[in-house]
């Protein structure tokens, strides 16, 4: 049997965690070998992904149940980028203990778990039937439970993991229930068959299935009213896990919705639009309100990411092509901005408590760190010319194609609220006077390099549109 080229990165990604974890058999606990293998492996996969030709078509494999299309390729890139950044971020936590936290051990297993979660995300975007789809979501979620509880001695972490598992299991139950009704409605597990059945006519059975599926994924995407676990888990998990959780798990959940809404449920997208609009509007409002009064960095990021989930939902109201472009672009932007923020918080967290006051005087002691923080915050707040603005513009544009002006006006007004709390953070770093009691910050070479790389990425992703589209040709014609 011949293996098509486009499947190679997926196979590598599947083998990869086994190799990383297996390498522990041949080297001791302090060895750097697994880390190197992981770096090479992920970068290789990322490179290979870039070689998959995008033709607007799709390739199918494995009795037509594994699909690789343009959206899938870009989602793979988002997930792999998130895994690479998460891996780089976690390295320091395995070398020194963060302030007030036990040191982390077993980096090989840790990276293996991230790789499994990444593979789960890939499975979700590649699935063509509900079984694979569901499996993907579980593969993506279960390693996250383990990652959350990585520090066994940390009480907060264990509490967070328990909460996460309980909530996640309920969500899984909801999804399974939804899928079973979907099967009952369509009489088939395959997406194409379900789509045909949905197009033929809806019934209450279908609406129950849709409702339960949205409830289930609402937990994972932290939509209102299922977001309550997020602040506690974000706060309790080790910082690198929080970062991975906020990007990989969110990207997987949104990919799930995109596949669902523009796949089997495409014929009734207009009917479920009010539900999406309601979830989007309430979620971003609640996220923004919740973030206003936070003073702990990671709790703050939890609410911020809840609000971001609401913004992403706005795009789901648009047409398929528009929404997919918008969501892919936004996820890239969100991943880069969010990781940049987490890198800064990570450096703070290594030496100080993770609260706003620890940022005091940052602009005077570490101006470059303060600039990086401002860049990431303004990007998350959607201020041009940073990447976040174009990302949000894309999302709103997608929502506006179907005429949801009221929701967009509401979302845009919410941006003012969001700007307020992002400014609050920038204020701590830029305006407040330095506090002599705070420990000095030390940056390793890797941290410095990654922060510069990500800051440039946020600025360039924003300016990239300026450079695209034959603008140089246009100028040469003057």
Q: How many CB atoms lie within 10 A of CB 180?
A: 13
> Residue 434, interface with other proteins (CB under 8 A)?
no
Tell me which stretch binds other proteins (CB under 8 A): 7-15, 66-74, 240-248, 399-407: 399-407
Q: Least distance from C-beta 149 to other proteins, angstroms?
A: 39
Q: CA–CA separation, 132 vs 122, rounded Å?
A: 11
> Residue 65, interface with other proteins (CB under 8 A)?
no
Tell me which stretch binds other proteins (CB under 8 A): 116-124, 231-239, 260-268, 413-421: 413-421
Residue 75 makes CB contacts below 8 A (sequence gap 6+) with: 121, 122, 125, 251, 255, 328, 331
Q: Least distance from C-beta 83 to other proteins, angstroms?
A: 27
Crossing angle of the two packed helices 320-351 and 297-315, in degrees rounded to 10: 170
Tokens of 473: 């040709």
> Residue 291, interface with other proteins (CB under 8 A)?
no
Q: Which of residues 302-331 bind other proteins (CB under 8 A)?
A: 325, 329
Q: CA–CA separation, 450 vs 369, rounded Å?
A: 12
| Ramachandran area for residue 118 (φ above 0: left; ψ -120 to 50: alpha; else beta) | alpha
Closer to other proteins by CB, 61 or 463: give it: 463
| Chain center to CA of 416 | 23
Tell me which stretch binds other proteins (CB under 8 A): 78-86, 136-144, 256-264, 418-426: 418-426
Tell me which stretch binds other proteins (CB under 8 A): 49-57, 210-218, 416-424, 441-449: 416-424
Handedness of CA 340, 345, 348, 350 (dihedral sign): negative
> Residue 451, interface with other proteins (CB under 8 A)?
no
Q: Least distance from C-beta 230 to other proteins, angstroms?
A: 26
> Residue 283, interface with other proteins (CB under 8 A)?
no
Q: CA–CA separation, 405 vs 388, rounded Å?
A: 20
Closer to other proteins by CB, 182 or 336: give it: 336
User: What three-state secondary structure class fits 332?
Assistant: helix
Q: CA–CA separation, 4 vs 64, rounded Å?
A: 13
Tell me which stretch binds other proteins (CB under 8 A): 288-296, 306-314, 343-351, 417-425: 417-425
DSSP string of 241-280, one letter each residue: HHHHIIIIIHHHHHHHHHHHHHTTTGGGHHHHHHHHHHHH
Q: CA–CA separation, 120 vs 127, rounded Å?
A: 10
> Residue 470, interface with other proteins (CB under 8 A)?
yes
Residue with tokens 């890797």: 446
Q: What is the DSSP letter of 225?
A: T
Closer to other proteins by CB, 17 or 382: give it: 382
> Residue 394, interface with other proteins (CB under 8 A)?
yes
Q: Least distance from C-beta 360 to other proteins, angstroms?
A: 13
> Residue 56, interface with other proteins (CB under 8 A)?
no
> Residue 433, interface with other proteins (CB under 8 A)?
no
Q: Are 260 and 228 in contact (CB under 8 A)?
A: no
Closer to other proteins by CB, 166 or 452: give it: 452
> Residue 413, interface with other proteins (CB under 8 A)?
yes
Q: Which candidate, 209, 190, 410, 199, places its Cα nearest to that of 317?
A: 410
Q: How many CB atoms lie within 10 A of CB 62?
A: 12
Q: Are 390 and 326 in contact (CB under 8 A)?
A: no
Please pick, from the candidates 221, 419, 425, 457, the single residue that binds other proteins as defined by CB under 8 A.
419
| Ramachandran area for residue 201 (φ above 0: left; ψ -120 to 50: alpha; else beta) | left
Tokens of 254: 């949104």
Closer to other proteins by CB, 415 or 447: give it: 415
Tell me which stretch binds other proteins (CB under 8 A): 22-30, 171-179, 227-235, 409-417: 409-417
Q: Least distance from C-beta 335 to other proteins, angstroms?
A: 19
Instruction: Map residues 336-375 to x or -, x wherever contact with other proteins holds by CB under 8 A.
Output: ---------------------------xx--x---x--x-
Q: Least distance from C-beta 431 to other proteins, angstroms?
A: 5
> Residue 400, interface with other proteins (CB under 8 A)?
yes
Tell me which stretch binds other proteins (CB under 8 A): 20-28, 215-223, 293-301, 425-433: 425-433
Contacts with other proteins, residue ranges (CB under 8 A):
325, 329, 363-364, 367, 371, 374, 378, 383-386, 389-390, 393-394, 396-397, 400-401, 403, 405, 408-409, 412-413, 415-416, 419-420, 423, 426-427, 430-431, 465-466, 468-471, 474-475, 478
């Amino acid at each position: 049997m011949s293996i098509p080229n486009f499947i190679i990165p997926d196979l590598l990604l599947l083998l990869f965690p086994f190799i990383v974890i297996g390498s522990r058999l041949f080297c001791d606990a302090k060895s750097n070998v697994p880390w190197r293998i992981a770096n090479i492996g992920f970068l290789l996969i990322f490179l290979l992904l870039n070689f998959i030709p995008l033709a607007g078509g799709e390739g199918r494999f494995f009795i037509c149940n594994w699909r690789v299309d343009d959206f899938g390729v870009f989602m793979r890139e988002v997930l792999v980028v998130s895994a690479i950044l998460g891996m780089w971020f976690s390295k320091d936590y395995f070398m020194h203990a963060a302030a007030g936290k036990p040191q982390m051990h077993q980096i090989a297993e840790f990276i293996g778990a991230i790789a499994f979660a990444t593979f789960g995300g890939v499975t979700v975007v590649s699935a063509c039937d509900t079984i694979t789809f569901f499996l993907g979501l579980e593969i993506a979620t279960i390693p996250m439970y383990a990652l959350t509880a990585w520090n066994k001695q940390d009480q907060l972490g264990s509490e967070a993991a328990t909460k996460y598992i309980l909530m996640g299991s309920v969500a899984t139950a909801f999804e399974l229930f939804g899928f079973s009704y979907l099967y009952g409605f369509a009489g088939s597990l395959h997406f194409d068959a379900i789509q045909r059945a949905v197009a033929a006519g809806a019934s209450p059975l279908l609406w129950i299935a849709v409702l339960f599926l949205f409830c289930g994924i609402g937990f994972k995407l932290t939509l209102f009213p299922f977001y309550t676990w997020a602040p506690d888990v974000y706060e309790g998990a080790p910082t690198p896990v929080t970062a991975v959780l906020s990007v990989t798990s969110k990207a997987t959940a949104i990919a799930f919705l995109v596949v669902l809404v523009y796949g089997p449920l495409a014929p009734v997208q207009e009917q479920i639009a009010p539900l999406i609009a309601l979830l989007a509007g309430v979620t971003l409002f609640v996220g923004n309100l919740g973030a206003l009064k936070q003073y702990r960095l990671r709790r703050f990021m939890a609410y911020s990411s809840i609000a971001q989930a609401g913004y992403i939902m706005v795009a789901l109201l648009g047409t398929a092509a528009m929404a997919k472009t918008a969501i892919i672009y936004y996820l890239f932007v969100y991943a880069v901005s969010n990781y940049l923020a987490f890198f800064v918080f990570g450096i703070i967290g290594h030496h100080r408590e993770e609260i706003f006051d620890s940022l005091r005087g940052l602009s005077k002691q570490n101006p470059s760190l303060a600039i990086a923080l401002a860049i990431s915050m303004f990007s998350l707040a959607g201020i041009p010319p940073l990447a976040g603005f174009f990302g949000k513009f894309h999302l709103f544009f997608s929502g506006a194609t179907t005429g949801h002006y009221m929701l967009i006006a509401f979302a845009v007004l919410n941006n003012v609220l969001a700007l307020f709390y992002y400014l609050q953070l920038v204020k701590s770093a830029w305006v407040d006077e330095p506090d002599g009691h705070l420990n000095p910050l030390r940056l390793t070479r890797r941290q410095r390099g990654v922060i510069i790389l990500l800051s440039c990425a946020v600025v360039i992703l924003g300016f990239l549109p300026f450079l695209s589209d034959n603008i140089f040709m246009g100028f040469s014609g003057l």
